[in-house]
Structure 1
Amino acid sequence: MPTRPRRRAPDWAVRPGYSVLLGDEPDVQRLSDLPKAKRLSFLSDMDQLGEAAERACRRLDPAFRRANLEILGNTDPFLHVHVWPRFDWEPADLVGKPVRLHPRKRWSDEQFRLGPQHDVSRDANGNELDHLRSVT
């Protein structure tokens, strides 16, 4: 398998269910740098991680709306995907904006930092991902 989902959200995770998918070749900067077979495998892993996050978040929070999947690479020049769950409880002025454009204070405020409050959603994401990988 060419990619590994990160089971632990980064310390700056600002919402339950956030995940990041990392490629296993650190020198690869963009999806198009991969040969076709590895590219398709990476996209399949992205699909599974996104579906796992959706299943876990839907089960844990009735306010779950969707999961946004982003391949950016503007700040970190290696191939990776952000999985951003989106919820109805987000402030109305932020609903239509990508999470990366939310105010900086939401990224550094202690109440939004990774902590024990994310354990349940992190474990649920991992369990869903394990389940999806076992049935494919």
Structure 2
Amino acid sequence: MVEDWRADRIGSAIRGTNPTVIAELEAAFAVIGDAQFLPGYSLALTKTPGIDRLTDLPRPDRLAFLADVDLVAAAVTTVCGDRDPAFRRTNVEILGNTHAFLHAHIWPRYDWEPAHLVGMPVWLRDPAQWRDPETQLGPRHDAVRAELAAEIARLRATLD
């Protein structure tokens, strides 16, 4: 039987079978989002199975996770800013309303987004965008994925 890595994103990342993983960090896995309607969308997934909320982690682990979120957000900002002159900012969200595991969404935002959505949360978009075959993660996103991985590695090297 073939494992559906989506059923256990953290476990599959730990086992090395989650194809969205960009980098393993101290307390999180940096992953590229399944849907790329905002190119460069990434997440930080906790490396600790069974953690549902940020506050479930002891404070030192919480700070390590947030430092990893910051690192991924910095990489998204640099890569997306270099790739698209319409890049405007990076939004970071920790919600936990749908999936019961700690993760942070890192959303690049662009001036080319529809005017009525550009200043609004991504979650107000048409839900069909999440499943649109045109924006599903695939080989056409290999370049942005490689750039994110390289920028994460560069940023990590500056921390050592």
Asked if TM exceeds 0.5, the reply is: yes
Mapping 1:52-67, distance limit 5 Å: 52-67=75-90
- In the superposition, the TM-score normalised over structure 2's length comes to 0.79
Which structure is higher in RCO with an 8 Å CA cutoff and minimum separation 6?
A: 1
Query: Which of these residues, 23, 27, 37, is aligned with residue 2 of structure 1?
Result: 27
For the pair 1:88 / 2:116, whether they are aligned, the reply is no
Q: Which moved more, 1:91-100 or 1:114-123?
A: 114-123
| Equivalent position of 1:118 in the other structure | 141
1:108: Cα distance to partner?
A: 2.2
Q: Which moved more, 1:35-44 or 1:104-113?
A: 104-113
What is the alpha-carbon distance in structure 1 between the residues aligned to residue 71 and residue 109 of structure 2?
A: 17
Mapping 1:11-30, distance limit 5 Å: 12-30=35-53
Query: Which of these residues, 91, 116, 138, is aligned with residue 68 of structure 1?
Result: 91
Q: Which moved more, 1:49-58 or 1:15-24?
A: 15-24
1:131: Cα distance to partner?
A: 0.4
1:2: Cα distance to partner?
A: 1.8
1:33: Cα distance to partner?
A: 0.8
| Secondary structure of residue in 2 paired with 1:94 | coil
1:31: Cα distance to partner?
A: 0.8
The answer for unaligned runs of 5 or more in structure 2 is 1-25
1:110: Cα distance to partner?
A: 2.2
What is the alpha-carbon distance in structure 1 between the residues aligned to residue 149 and residue 133 of structure 2?
A: 24
What is the alpha-carbon distance in structure 1 between the residues aligned to residue 133 and residue 115 of structure 2?
A: 21
- In the superposition, the TM-score normalised over structure 1's length comes to 0.92
Structure 1 stretches (4+) deviating beyond 4 angstroms? none
What is the alpha-carbon distance in structure 2 between the residues aligned to residue 90 and residue 100 of structure 1?
A: 14
| Secondary structure of residue in 2 paired with 1:123 | helix
Report how many aligned residue pairs link the two structures.
134
The answer for unaligned runs of 5 or more in structure 1 is none
Share of identical aligned residues, percent? 46
What is the alpha-carbon distance in structure 2 between the residues aligned to residue 116 and residue 90 of structure 1?
A: 23
